[in-house]
Chains A and B, each alone.
Chain A
């Protein structure tokens, strides 16, 4: 029996008069790979921000393994085990690659500032362990040669992978990736897809994606939720989504039949 990792119940988030997320329900089961898709401005990232605590929703409830998390400060949500990456890469630019990962481990360390001045054995041990772990993670994402390079000097693809490694550093239970393949060429995209699958299998974590590249979405997801104008319009496995009429309309506009029907109705109304 798989448990529900994240459940979103009737969540609504408004910005002034704009309802960015409108009564969305979503259940993400443990160890799954799920995708949230939808046209630009559909409210995907806003939903992410609600789950990770950047926004607190006006209505509804968000649960992390049956524990309500809405309204908690973001660092507490991170401590619970939800990590994320960002649509437009947000690394700590002046810090080196390995330092970025060490900050990522912050939540899993507990030495205090006094210990860091004293350098007591516990501190030294924890520090060395986290440095070793950071090197492992760098190797995992293929950046071990660039450990001491400042983040702003890394090439684009490496920055994306570093951001992923930073998120992994906090030992997350749920990993939320906001457009992980944005700006990548087909080969890099394929690599990232394989990487995401391997991540789920080897580290046994739950992954939620926001993605525009349909090859990625259909290739890796077990479940897809489609948002349009803040509302969830469809949910299901890739095959079901591909043939769903409302999804196709949301992306491509209504079909010719649909337009003709609408015109016919309008004529009848006029008459």
Chain B
């Protein structure tokens, strides 16, 4: 027996075990449900809980395909016959294990053994489904057929795409043709053309304007949350990403913004009911002031000490809000209800309006953060992050710039807090737990410290992806955690690491005619 066949056998056995593992934890049924959602072929009722058999076939086929793909050598050295044999062997060895499992479980099930005592995900319905609603033997035959067929298919796919094959050559020539037509240079010069750039921007703007109407209130809610996290991330990015101060109590500023706005606009407990835009401005100012005041005593701390102290600050704000001491002011653990909502042409803001407002604010926030980053201020921040002592000896007033970073970051948090409270029409102390700080920090780190596209991407990944994974129900956080681990291994500097700006000398012909002013 030669080496590649041994390899196919081994991989087949491994995949067989993986398939059984999926069956044991009930993932096969979850996947079948997901496939059903995609195909729209589930007509499940409480009377008839049966899932379409097709979905199980598809899922098993997919697993077989993986088996075949991984069991085949990618270098294209093997002949077609050899490839066929490896696919066959991999499929067979995987199905041997599966068949064993199905025969044992299936026959025990038919004799009335209840597995749920030990394996909560292996109930009667699930086992019936895994047997295609037939007998164990019939199910075993089907599994063999599906696995072997799909595994061979996988092997053939690998062979046809491997180097030297016809398909591969055809693909390469196609790639060359398309890249010649649409290479980066043409794209850049096209974007350099003002009209095309304007056209593209208008198209994006129109798309962004109409999307919230189209995709419904559920997606408006999700994307609104993502937008709020982008704003929070932009703010924390100034503090952590630019100036390098590890502040873990960022949620405090979020809470202060939300509560300021809520208390100023809600009928209870103060009945101030101020103009909303004014209240929003005051919320931003109050959080900025909070940033200044908290920054004064703590910003001389460095590293871990700063992290711990600010962590405490975040918790203190939440506990103060819900304390008996301030109940008369903040309404305590009950929270503030009926927070004000803005009007637009005599109508209360609906979810689409909020989405538009958030989009505008995110764009404005990105603009401000971008301009700050590439300026004297931004460079001073980054130099503080790199080496605080040297930054100060180079003339940067480190304390002032750290306070400034904290204040601007707090302003972003205050703004998103105000909108958060207004959109939910409610704000309570439990909205502002430590987890919010941790999540925002994750947004910044996953995206790439100091990187603006990174913040946007990070917010989508951390707040949007869990919603997409909702189908996986109980396994959502497991899968999500695994994705994060994989991401951090593959891209340790974040999804979109920051790139340093390029500078250009002033072109010679653009020398100004007027005399250069000499600064005193």
Contacts and interface: CB of A to CB of B under 8 A. Distances in A.
B49 interface: no
Interface stretch (B66-74, B135-143, B189-197, B367-375): B367-375
B415 interface: no
Interface in B135-155: none
Contact of A113 (B375, B502, B504): B375
A93 interface: yes
B383 interface: yes
A116 B238 CA distance: 15
Contact of A148 (B376, B393, B408, B502): B502
Interface string B371-412: 110011111101101110111111111100000100010000
B379 A116 contact: no
A104 B390 CA distance: 10
Given A92-B387, A94-B386, A106 B396 contact: yes
Interface stretch (A34-42, A58-66, A125-133): A125-133
Nearest to B369: A117
B500 A148 contact: yes
A215 interface: no
Interface in A149-185: 150, 166, 170
Interface in A111-150: 111-113, 116-117, 119, 123, 127-128, 130-132, 134-135, 147-148, 150
Contact of A131 (B386, B389, B506): B506
Contact of A92 (B378, B390, B397, B398): B390
Nearest to B510: A128
A107 interface: yes
Contact of B377 (A54, A78, A79, A113): A113
B116 interface: no
A78 B500 contact: no
A84 interface: yes
Contacts of B393: 52-54, 74-75, 77-78, 84
B505 A170 contact: no
B38 to A, nearest CB: 44
B503 interface: yes
Contact of B394 (A53, A103, A128, A131): A103
Contacts of A77: 393
A150 B371 contact: no
A102 B375 CA distance: 10
Nearest to A116: B375
Given A92-B390, A103-B391, A131 B371 contact: no
A128 B503 CA distance: 9
Given A95-B382, A106-B379, A106-B380, A116 B371 contact: yes
Contact of B390 (A86, A128, A134): A86
B368 A117 contact: yes
A67 B500 CA distance: 40
A124 B385 CA distance: 25
SS class, residues of chain B in contact with chain A: helix
A85 to B, nearest CB: 10
Contacts of B389: 54, 74, 90
A92 B382 contact: yes
Contact of A94 (B382, B503, B504): B382
B386 A93 contact: yes
A128 B395 contact: no
B379 A95 contact: yes
A117 B371 contact: yes
Contacts of A166: 394
A7 interface: no
Interface in B326-341: none
A213 to B, nearest CB: 24
Interface residues of B, number: 34
A147 B375 contact: no
B386 A92 contact: yes
A103 B404 contact: no
A26 interface: no
Contacts of A12: none
A68 interface: no
B396 A103 contact: yes
Among B371, B395, B501, B505, the most chain A Cβ lie within 10 Å of the Cβ of B395
Contacts of B505: 131-132, 135
Contacts of A119: 371
A247 interface: no
A147 B394 contact: no
Nearest to A130: B376
A107 B350 CA distance: 49
A52 B378 CA distance: 25
A78 B397 CA distance: 10
Contacts of A106: 376, 379-380, 383, 394-396
Given A73-B392, A95-B500, A103-B394, A111 B506 contact: no
B240 to A, nearest CB: 14
A170 B506 contact: no
Contacts of B391: 92, 103
Contact of A127 (B375, B385, B394, B404): B375
B383 to A, nearest CB: 4
Contacts of A32: none
A104 B394 contact: yes
23 contacts: A54-B389, A73-B397, A74-B392, A78-B394, A78-B395, A83-B394, A90-B387, A95-B500, A99-B379, A103-B382, A103-B391, A103-B394, A106-B376, A106-B394, A106-B396, A108-B395, A109-B376, A111-B375, A113-B408, A116-B376, A117-B368, A131-B504, A131-B505
Given A95-B379, A127-B375, 14 more contacts: A54-B389, A74-B389, A74-B392, A78-B392, A84-B393, A103-B380, A103-B383, A103-B391, A106-B380, A107-B394, A116-B372, A117-B367, A131-B503, A170-B394
Query: 9 smallest A-B Cβ distances: which pairs?
Result: A107-B395, A116-B375, A92-B386, A78-B395, A113-B377, A74-B393, A103-B383, A74-B392, A90-B390
Interface of B: 367-368, 371-372, 375-380, 382-383, 385-387, 389-398, 404, 408, 500-506
